């Protein structure tokens, strides 16, 4: 399956050489907004799958070093946790394991596979359009902030748009959620080739994040 994320200029985000992870972590952890524990657990499971069992301990030690100690194996699927913690785990994984942008994209792409909410959403509807129309409800089930808009579903042109308002933690998550929403599209659309592009970004040319999904 061909996974495409076009706007590479967005992936570099801020000047990483000028800002330490500790400085970034302090800023990120001040942001408000929560997500379900299953999101964090999915990321931890992916890290362990990619980097081995010891990787979980590495993540915990780094988080403690940054001033945010947490026992990540105790995340409960339906409990609320700070989205900032989820973002920080992604950033820590990138630093510890020297991940490239594609690794972050793949991590996001893997997350919905273990989501109970996503599985229920996909099983409940029997048409691509109905599943697409339910995406805003899915967002509200997983996040207590921001808003997802899904519009422009066109079976003839084979495209639709996802817009996220009220989400601005760190540019690295543009990559993560490109992978994430591509996976949602892969559940909804039965096609051997689906592509995603972030057309607008809250860190650059817009006040929101807008992803366009196309398929053949």
Nearby residues of 5 by Cβ (< 8 Å), 6 or more positions away: 11, 101, 105, 175, 178, 179, 196, 197, 198
- What is the domain range of residue 150? 8-215
Q: Give whole-number Cα distances, 147 to 17, 36, 83, 210, 213, in Å.
A: 32, 15, 14, 12, 18
Per the domain annotation, does 150 fall within a domain?
yes
**Distance between alpha carbon 190 and the CA centroid of its chain, in Å?**
22
Give average pLDDT by consecutive 10-residue segment, the chain, 216 residues.
Answer: 42 51 93 94 95 95 95 90 96 96 95 76 69 88 95 94 96 95 89 93 90 96
The domain that holds 93 is classified in CATH as: 3.90.1520.10
3-state DSSP assignment of residue 50? helix
| pTM over cut 0.85 | yes
**3 found inside a domain:** no
Q: Does the residue 2 lie in any domain?
A: no
Is residue 149 classed as helix, strand or coil in its secondary structure? strand
Residue 152 exposure: Cα atoms within 13 Å on the Cβ side: 13
Question: How many separate domains does the chain show?
Answer: 1
């Amino acid at each position: 399956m061909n996974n495409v994320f076009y706007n590479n200029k967005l992936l570099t985000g801020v000047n990483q050489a000028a800002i330490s992870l500790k400085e970034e972590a302090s800023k990120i952890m001040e942001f408000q907004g929560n997500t379900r524990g299953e999101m964090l657990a999915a990321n931890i499971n992916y890290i362990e799958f990619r980097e081995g069992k010891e990787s979980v301990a590495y993540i915990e030690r780094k988080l403690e070093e940054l001033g945010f100690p947490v026992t990540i194996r105790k995340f409960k699927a339906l409990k609320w946790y700070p989205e900032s913690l989820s973002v920080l785990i992604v950033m820590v994984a990138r630093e510890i394991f020297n991940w490239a942008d594609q690794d972050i994209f793949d991590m996001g792409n893997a997350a919905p596979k273990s989501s109970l909410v996503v599985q229920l959403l996909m099983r409940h509807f029997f048409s691509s359009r109905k599943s697409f129309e339910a995406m805003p409800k899915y967002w509200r089930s997983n996040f207590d902030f921001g808003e997802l808009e899904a519009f422009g579903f066109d079976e003839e042109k084979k495209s639709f748009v996802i817009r996220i308002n009220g989400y601005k933690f760190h540019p690295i998550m543009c990559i993560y959620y490109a992978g994430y929403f591509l996976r949602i599209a892969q559940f909804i659309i039965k096609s051997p080739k689906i592509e995603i592009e972030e057309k607008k970004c809250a860190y650059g040319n817009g006040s929101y994040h807008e992803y366009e999904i196309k398929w053949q």
